[in-house]
């Protein structure tokens, strides 16, 4: 049976065991998302039609997902795991609602947008999104279900965005 708290504690328990591993996941939890944004920008300029289509889908997907996240926060205010367990996370973080993980949502939106358009860069973005999501748990700022929820929000948002763009812009 899946236990969100136990799995979080197992993953977070790996922290502070190896400085290199900590560095890899601290980077994944903080800076990696900005590299993803930069790559998206580069692909707008240098990519082909699939990459430009992915950009349109991900922009609308971001708007849709942010709306769902804000609505969720009105009704569901899960504290961060480091607050619940009185832990010191590996990165400084404001104790706002934990569910869903915004970083996991954003990185998955990028990955799903490129997957939906069958871009040759899909695998790169999927692997990067996995790195971001796992990192957010490892450093102690999210539960596993926060990351899975973010992935679900991203998938649903990209699905809706692609349907809307396809209907109204025939993309």
* For residue 147, pLDDT beyond 80: yes
Half-sphere exposure of 8 (CA within 13 A, CB side): 24
Return d(Cα 159, Cα 171) in angstroms, integer.
13
- Three-class DSSP category at 97: coil
Residue 109 phi, psi dihedral angles, 5° rounding:
-60, -45
Per CATH, the number for 4-169 is 1.20.144.10
* For residue 168, pLDDT beyond 90: no
- Three-class DSSP category at 98: coil
Mean pLDDT, residues 39-48 taken together: 96
pLDDT of residue 111: 98
Arithmetic mean of pLDDT over the chain = 95
Domain ranges of the chain: 4-169
pLDDT of residue 151: 98
Interhelix angle for 122-138 vs 32-46, to 10°?
170
Kindly report, residue by residue over 49-85, the tens digit of the pLDDT. Answer: 999 999 999 999 999 999 999 999 999 899 999 999 9
No. of helices (H) and no. of strands (E), the chain: 8, 0
């Amino acid at each position: 049976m899946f236990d969100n708290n136990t799995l979080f504690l197992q993953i977070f328990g790996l922290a502070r065991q190896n400085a290199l591993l900590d560095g890899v996941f601290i980077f994944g939890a903080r800076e990696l998302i900005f590299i993803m944004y930069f790559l998206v920008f580069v692909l707008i300029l240098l990519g082909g039609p699939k990459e430009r289509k992915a950009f349109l889908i991900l922009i609308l997907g971001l708007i849709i997902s942010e709306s769902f996240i804000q609505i969720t926060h009105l009704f569901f205010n899960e504290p961060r795991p480091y607050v619940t367990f009185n832990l010191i996370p590996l990165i400084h973080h404001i104790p706002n609602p934990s569910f869903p993980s915004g970083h996991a949502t954003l990185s998955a939106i990028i990955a799903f947008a490129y997957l939906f358009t069958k871009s040759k860069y899909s695998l790169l973005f999927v692997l990067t999104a996995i790195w971001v999501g796992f990192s957010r748990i490892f450093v102690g700022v999210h539960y596993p279900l926060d990351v899975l929820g973010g992935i679900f929000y991203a998938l649903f948002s990209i699905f809706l965005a692609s349907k809307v763009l396809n209907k109204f812009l025939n993309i």
